[in-house]
């Protein structure tokens, strides 16, 4: 599993805190933040690294699905100083969601019904979406 920044609340973000000066001007939109996440044997959890653009650091991290719409992301420094947050799925689920569903026991999301017969025919012709699910950070999900 991996993840990238797919949307910015304020467009035009740059990776200004990256310790590699050559990367400080790269856009944050499209930047990988969940890196090399591997499924943990015998658990509904992934382990890898998370990149925090706010301080330019990589942290050991775990991802745990809480339910079909929420992921718990935890990052640790030195293995014991940990913090985390809950990410919320953007609704409605995109077409690849059933293919990329995380937990064996979770209910697969139901795709919304097409609004017209033309939309149904068009949707049937599209190849599988390889993007996967999209989640938002808590400050975006609760900013209403």
Per-residue model confidence as pLDDT tens digits over 99-129: 444 444 444 444 444 444 444 344 444 444 4
* pTM of the model as a whole: 0.60
Predicted pLDDT at 14: 95
Predicted pLDDT at 93: 53
The 10 Å Cβ neighbour count of residue 88 is 17
pLDDT tens-place string over residues 18-74: 999 999 999 999 999 999 999 999 999 999 999 989 899 999 999 999 998 899 998
Domains of the chain with bracketed CATH: 3-141 (2.40.128)
Instruction: Enter the tokens of residue 100.
Output: 């990329």
Number of C-alpha atoms within 13 angstroms, CB side, residue 53?
19
Number of helices (H), then strands (E), belonging to the chain: the values are 2, 7
Percentage of residues of the chain with pLDDT beyond 90: 38
pLDDT value at 97 more than 90: no
């Amino acid at each position: 599993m991996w993840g990238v920044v797919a949307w910015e609340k304020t467009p035009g973000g740059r990776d200004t805190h990256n310790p590699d000066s050559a990367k400080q001007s790269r856009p944050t939109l499209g930047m990988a933040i969940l890196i090399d996440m591997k499924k943990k044997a015998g658990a509904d959890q992934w382990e890898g690294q998370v990149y925090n653009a706010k301080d330019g650091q990589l942290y050991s991290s775990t991802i745990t699905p809480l339910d079909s719409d929420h992921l718990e992301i935890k990052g640790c420094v030195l293995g014991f100083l940990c913090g985390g947050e809950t990410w919320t799925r953007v609704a409605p689920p995109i077409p690849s969601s059933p293919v990329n569903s995380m937990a064996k026991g979770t209910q697969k999301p139901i795709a919304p019904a097409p609004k017209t017969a033309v939309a149904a025919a068009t949707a049937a012709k599209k190849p599988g979406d390889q993007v996967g699910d999209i989640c938002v950070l808590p400050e975006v999900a609760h900013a209403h």
